[in-house]
Amino acid sequence: MKSILFVCTGNIFRSMIAEYALKKALGQHSPYQVASAGTQAKPQAIVPLVLQCLQQYDIDPTQHQQRRIVPELFVESELLVAMGCDHQEFISAHFGEQPPLFNEICHRRSEPVLDTNEAVPEYADNPSARDRHIGFVVDHICQSMPAFIENVPAFLT
């Protein structure tokens, strides 16, 4: 079985959403083993709004266990998918490979999926903009899964 590993920073937002959205889209008889990890993965809880947004897609990641990418995960994965450019750089520096970005696979665009602090620098003082961005990211990743599934075989060869 081919394995796909989504990578972001903390493994509680972008990569975690991608993991659970892909698992949901593939169903019980998935041809892929799907997981996620973070480049830092410092202990943090999933933001409640992320959970609420995922509930709209009937996705429940409450059993998710944060983890950091380590050599064993790298070796076990046929395809690493970076959520951001910094994740590509981390993987290149630590593992010597240049993984595709999520948006490259889904939409043929070399664009990162931005973290909240990247998209909304004043996120602490602007909860409305922060929450809009969180909703946008959840929607973008979940709605991109059909394209991801269609295009991923070309990246697994």
- Tens digit of each residue's pLDDT (9 = 90 or more) over 95-121: 999 999 999 999 999 999 999 999 999
Please compute the mean of the pLDDT values over residues 14-37 and round it to a whole number.
96
The terminus-to-terminus CA distance of the chain in angstroms comes to 13
What per-residue confidence (pLDDT) applies to 72?
92
Mean pLDDT over each residue of the chain, to the nearest integer: 96
With cut-offs at 50, 70 and 90, classify the pLDDT of residue 41.
confident
* pTM for the whole structure: 0.96
Q: Are 157 and 73 in contact (CB under 8 A)?
A: no
Domains of the chain (ranges, CATH numbers): 2-155 (3.40.50.2300)
What per-residue confidence (pLDDT) applies to 106?
97
Q: Are 5 and 35 in contact (CB under 8 A)?
A: yes
Distance of alpha carbon 37 from alpha carbon 110, whole angstroms = 21
With cut-offs at 50, 70 and 90, classify the pLDDT of residue 1.
confident
User: Does residue 155 carry a pLDDT above 80?
Assistant: yes
CB-facing half-sphere around the CA of 96: CA atoms within 13 A: 2
